[in-house]
A and B are shown apart, each in its own frame.
Chain A
């Protein structure tokens, strides 16, 4: 048992108590590691791998997943919508008829909102829909999505997604064999990097035209893509990178802060080296003194 998931256990609510955790028809031992088979692209079993429990076995909070998906979709909005108000509609500078004497209602501009062809009141304006969701919520959402896929048995772990040739036909055959139990062949393929060895350029070239298949590098793994697709197919290097990223502390300091911390660390090490040198010098001096005394006597 390592410290990280003890802390996680204490901070999450008891599963099921709040009514927000997805209840499974089978018992789940939360935060314990889970075994999963490692396959190759031809669906041969290679080994058994343990998925860390603090990432792949957390209580699945449906509302957190909703929050993260809502945030993702909101910040993806273009927000380029606009209507013209009465000041922007062309014309409408002249008073249509005198204030008094005509018997008609008083009017100041023929582009006022009550007029046909007039401006729109409080219409849409170009804006950004992005907002800053707390980083801890984003992280928990990713863990919930991964745990959900693992609980449903829709997480497939491969050693590599690298195809032998960049032909779409070949990779389509391989994928349909891998996903033969799933009715829609809907999959998210996650490799370690866009130019990695376990997928990379060749995988993208081969599989990008397949409908229902999305390819992402490990850094691009996000809750919306994971939940949207039926199956999550991940390579082992991608899994390792993802686990490392999710276990690293959330960076609050920025580049300048990290540089300052690095400077402090360097200075501390320098001080340690100097102390060691001083101690060695002292030892040498003592030895010299001892040998002189021995020599003279």
Chain B
């Protein structure tokens, strides 16, 4: 009896506010949902009362307004509508997160006690197992396998840049061709990655022809790239910088911050690097072009 009374009250309130809402409540499913608790019924009626002015005052589009109201009343509860983005409702995309296996956390997980390693033996130990599958304890092997790839203990790896990319940058006007293009220019213009540990290497990378005269100062260049650039009237100078020198070249502001002067250029490169470099890199770099090249470069800048 009390329930029916409440339902009537709710129905009358709903009918006053919006005829459609009252009709929607008449459906059995909605009735069942509403009649679970008296509190929810009352809260729902208050909610209906609020939803009406809410939609109009915030100036929603007419159609959206009507739909919004009808949706809220169909929900029939004091909870926010399902399509609201709330902190408690957002989650990762399905399949984007893989649960990690947690070994040794109870036998109910099938990964407890022995953690999939069985009982004792070399393979059950930390760091256990053979160096490789064909290892036979170190006796004289039937077959020897050559070391095909040996990583040096501290490799000198230049950051490679393709000649085609440099050309594209020059054509787009992102590189200053009136002066020598240093590794700092390549880095600042975004042509080369910002992380450069040892230097920059120029590679031809399938380029067949160069039309613009470019004057580059890089740590290393492939013979093909050098030939192509020189054929177009440019030059490739292989400059030597130490780690500290390279840092002074690429980030002079770091020295200024610390109140340090730029380091002097070294006097010579190590004898083992004879033939790999043309000149010692200057700090700050010497960017003036040879006299003959200036008019051509200026014309190129004017046309770009």
Contact = CB atoms under 8 A, between A and B. Distances in A.
Interface of A: 19-20, 22-27, 34-37, 43, 45, 48, 60, 62-63, 65-67, 69-70, 145, 148-149, 151-154, 156, 181-183, 224, 227-228, 252-257, 259-261, 263-264, 267-268, 271, 275
A22 to B, nearest CB: 6
B190 A253 contact: yes
A267 B297 CA distance: 13
Contacts of A224: 87
Nearest to A256: B188
Nearest to B55: A153
Contacts, number: 114
A252 B90 contact: no
Given A153-B60, A267-B301, A256 B92 contact: no
Contacts of A264: 173-176
B86 A227 contact: yes
B59 A66 contact: no
A227 B87 contact: yes
A25 B176 contact: no
B55 A268 contact: no
Contact of A25 (B57, B71, B298): B71
Contacts of A36: 59
A260 B185 contact: yes
Contacts of A69: 87, 90
B188 A257 contact: yes
Contact of A24 (B83, B89, B90): B83
Given A181-B57, A259-B188, A271-B301, 6 more contacts: A19-B94, A181-B53, A181-B54, A256-B251, A260-B188, A268-B301
Contacts of B53: 181
A253 B96 contact: no
Interface string B86-121: 110111111010000000000000000000000000
B194 interface: yes
A68 to B, nearest CB: 10
A117 B110 CA distance: 31
A41 B87 CA distance: 28
Given A145-B85, A253-B188, A63 B92 contact: yes
A31 B93 CA distance: 23
Given A153-B54, A253-B190, A227 B302 contact: no
Interface of B: 50, 53-55, 57-61, 63-64, 67-68, 71, 81, 83-87, 89-94, 96, 173-176, 178, 184-185, 187-190, 194, 251, 253, 298, 301-302, 304
Contact of B176 (A156, A254, A267): A267
A263 B176 contact: yes
B37 to A, nearest CB: 18
Given A24-B83, A63-B91, A152-B85, A261 B63 contact: no
Contact of B190 (A62, A154, A252): A252
Contacts of B194: 254
Contacts of A154: 58, 84
Contact of B189 (A62, A151, A257, A271): A257
B83 A22 contact: yes
A222 B90 CA distance: 16
Contacts of B84: 148, 152, 154
Contacts of A149: 85
Contact of A257 (B63, B87, B89, B190): B190
Nearest to A65: B90
Given A183-B50, A257-B188, A271 B87 contact: no
B287 to A, nearest CB: 12
B188 A35 contact: no
A23 B83 contact: yes
Q: Which 10 A-B pairs have the closest CB atoms?
A: A181-B54, A63-B93, A260-B188, A37-B59, A26-B67, A148-B85, A66-B90, A257-B188, A25-B71, A153-B58
Contacts of B184: 256
A24 B68 CA distance: 10
